[in-house]
Amino acid sequence: MGYQDVRFDSSTTFLVTGGAGFIGSNICGALLRMGLAVRCVDNLSTGKMENINELMGNSGFSFILGDICDSATAFSLTSGVDFVLHQAAWGSVPKSIKQPLDYEEINIKGTLSVMEASRFNKVKKFIYASSSSVYGDEANLPKKEGREGSLLSPYAITKKTNEEYGKLYSSIYGLETYGLRYFNVFGKKQNPNGEYAAVIPRFISCFIKDERPTIYGDGNQTRDFTYVENVIEANLKACLAPSHNAGRVFNIAYGAQERLIDIFYKLRKLMGKEHIEPLFEQGRAGDIKHSFADISNASEAFGYDPSWTFSMGINDVISWYKSNL
């Protein structure tokens, strides 16, 4: 269970793009705890130095302030690297609807830039973050790879485009790519502020401040919330996946459904804020109603076995936010 038994040669070097972001910084920390060398690149457009300050003194860690859309930067970063864990991207479906050109530039060009550099520098495996948003309006549950619907946002288009490039780079160029379709990741270091903040850190932040959280829609929409430790496990195990799985995409989730309104009440109780009621606003364009993943392909391909349940993750993350907000 988890990634405690995952082993790499002590000389292994990783590149984590978007390494000062929420997921990237958690991955960097896990790799360093394993005694491995980590290059972290971020342009700090959404990442934050405070996410990696605790890592800066580690001899195995190097931070590069740079833009992966620049091909020379991408080539330099991937030179001498064994594995690329590509997390750099702009998230948020609503924001992508307002800024589609920015998402095209950052999410597609940035990914292709690092993928191409990885090909030339003979990186062993290129693991990249995709998203459950690629399922679009496909209504069947659980979500299963190969059964996608019409895309509902520019963000979803960027992630699906990256998957298509991943397939091509494996089949044409021999670069082993593995796409990880994240389902509603939450955890430590996730930004609770701003218009596009994810729901769990936003709820927790509101409760800490004694404010009323906003729920978009009626609260009956469901999500397959996935604690960040499970995502770290998926990235590390994908690095050791048998080569015949290259070019594929895999659901990375816990494999359960949670209603947003139930999460509100659960957090409210855990944080002793029973006097606070939610604010309801109209649902947002591009949001899907229900999300629930079949994770059997990831389990079969590289032994993905998420050990952090939703409740375990919630308790862990509440403690972190209480100490860090």
Nearest CA to 154 out of 96, 109, 105 is that of 96
Query: Could you tell me if residue 242 is inside a domain?
Result: yes
Q: What is the DSSP letter of 142?
A: S
155 carries an active-site annotation? yes
> In the prediction, which pLDDT does 289 show?
86
Residue 195 has pLDDT above 80, yes or no: no
- Note if the pTM is more than 0.85: yes
Query: Could you tell me if residue 205 is inside a domain?
Result: no
Residue 304 has pLDDT above 90, yes or no: yes
Query: Could you tell me if residue 111 is inside a domain?
Result: yes
Find the mean pLDDT for residues 266-272.
Answer: 96
Contacts of 166 (CB under 8 A, 6+ apart): 115, 126, 128, 177, 178, 179, 247, 249
Query: Could you tell me if residue 306 is inside a domain?
Result: no
Where in the sequence is the domain holding 74, given as residue range(s)? 13-183+228-253+294-300
Give how many domains the chain has, as a whole number: 1
- At 100, which CATH number? 3.40.50.720
Query: Could you tell me if residue 30 is inside a domain?
Result: yes
111-153 residue pLDDT tens: 999 999 999 999 999 999 999 999 999 999 999 999 999 999 9
90-108 residue pLDDT tens: 999 999 999 999 999 999 9
Catalytic option among 3, 155, 165, 227? 155
Query: Could you tell me if residue 37 is inside a domain?
Result: yes
Query: Could you tell me if residue 215 is inside a domain?
Result: no
Query: Could you tell me if residue 211 is inside a domain?
Result: no
Alpha helices per DSSP H over the chain: 22-33, 71-78, 93-98, 100-103, 110-120, 154-171, 199-208, 228-239, 260-270, 296-302, 310-324
